[in-house]
Structure 1
Amino acid sequence: MANSTMVMEFLLLGFPDGWNMSLLYFMLFTVTYLGTLLGNLLIVTVTTADQNLHTPMYFFLRNLSILDMCFISVTVPNACVNSITGNRAISVGGCETQIFLVLFCACVELLFLSIMAWDRYVAICQPLQYPTIMNTQFCVRMTLASLLSGLVYAGVHTGNTFQLSFCQSNVVHQFFCDIPSLLWLSYSDITSNMILILVSIIIFGGGCFGLIIMSYIHIFSTVLKYPTTASVKAFSTCTPHILVVSIFLSSGTGVYLRSSANSDTLQDLIPSACYTMVPPFLNPLIYSLRNKQVKEAVMRVMGRQFFSGKRCRCISALS
């Protein structure tokens, strides 16, 4: 132990299966990243520009879209650059920052999804009380509380991880820095770290998932009293929401509770990609682009931009 050297940087193994597959992964990750940015940026633009979408539901949706763009930007661009350049080194400080940002975005993502499920419950099951409950002050407070909770959650787990000693292998079997991969690189006792992760998953993840499920159960029980078309619409809208949340939680839980983080097979990388890439990519499709109000708002905003540009060209021509 006296002759060991403390780790000054980590090496991200990235994608397995050789150069040809790495190029395929690069293309897949790049398309997913650009699609995520485009979809979420469209939502932010439309919900900001159209006055009809200045409601609590679209307020949280706009915040979720901004968060999703940040979430996927923490891991994917760096992974794509590393796969092409072959430079897989990341400093300890850079690794710490990446872990903190991933945990922060994941925590706030789950809280936003829970709040949005609660918003739909109030809107459908208690419509008369909706303006009173989901007022502007409540929405701002819940957003700030989610961000603060994310900072605390990420700070606790990141600080607890980097209190460990790393002086053996510095190879991270992942395309980004995550806690499980680092825990298995440390020669320190990681029992307290694993207990903290388990407790966090049970209390925080389980609590948020329970709130989402209960909200949708009440929504389903309410819409079943309505005509068939309303029931079908509610099921077609809520079921994809539950599916995305389930993918997010199950893949994230699988990553953090796996028995070994020293494998670089594709099967071990898929869960990490699922919880960091799938929700940001699918949320615009599920929450907005399938929504009639958003489609109409997109057409209105595009129409205003078109006629505004045409009017400016006419004025320039006359002058």
Structure 2
Amino acid sequence: MSNNLEERSSSNGAKYLAQQKYSEAIAFYKQGIETDPTFMSNYWHLCLALLLQEQESEAMATWLSILEKADIEKVNTWTLDLVKVLIAEAIRCEAVSDFKSARKMYGYAAIARSQAWKKVKGYEFITDWFSQNLPIWEQYLIHLANKPEINILEIGSWEGMSACWLLDNILTHESSRITCIDTFEGSIEHKLEYNDSYIKSVEEKFDFNISQTKVPEKVTKIVGSSQDMMRSLPLTNYDMLYIDGSHLASDALTDAVLGWGLVKVGGLIVFDDYDYTFPDDLEQDTKIGIDAFLQAFCKKVNIIHQGHQVIVEKTSC
């Protein structure tokens, strides 16, 4: 495709997007890909059109199909190109005060970077409950990045995705460390959703993924119940506590209370799955346990984010 044809194609597609004719834009970019599959801009704008049409799964499938064919150099280049398209849309949304859509686009950009990151590093994750949190983590954890002697405690590691991201993006100073506690036997919700053979493979997957970080010496893996293992950990030692173990309200509350003394003043406590529910046992919804902690410690914490995750700063002992 010549430069003139490429420019004309981009212009025509942009008109559909500007007019919010997303179905037409999707068809247009798909036709462009069939005509010239090497013109990569069509893929990025197809992803955008699909997202605007709220076809998130198809957009992700399109992006992942491209990643599967790409070598490492192309992964980085193509990710940057896609992210530019998504960020441009986020900025456009902000300009018209559509801040909800802007946040979604920034989130999609973070997820695109996450998928590329996993490909480049050679990680093997079967499940991904983490990528959706990246926009929040990038915002609130950046002050810890590459600082010396940062210590993080993680309750519930599963296949190690969050631990690997922390090692690659936050705990980059040679003196920083992470402690990961997990039974590697799954919680109630895991046992309902996954078969025994997969659950039995989780610890092995964790070990493999940590090895792919190339800094496994920074990781202390503790196998066992958090409510037993935390009792022997040093007080006021951690700059961040990430609670993502059992989602039962009673367990989330117990993890938070036991972890409280382990976190430094000024440190962060991050709760995952604030909105998790147990349809057959509503009294154990995760929110109930987290809210109980927040109420009891309200004068000692500052809530800095509350959504799917809750992030608080410990302001006093």
TM-score range, shorter chain: under 0.3
Please give the TM-score of this superposition, normalised by the length of structure 1: 0.25
Higher RCO (C-alpha under 8 Å, 6+ residues apart): 1
Choose between structure 1 and 2: higher helix proportion: 1
Please give the TM-score of this superposition, normalised by the length of structure 2: 0.25
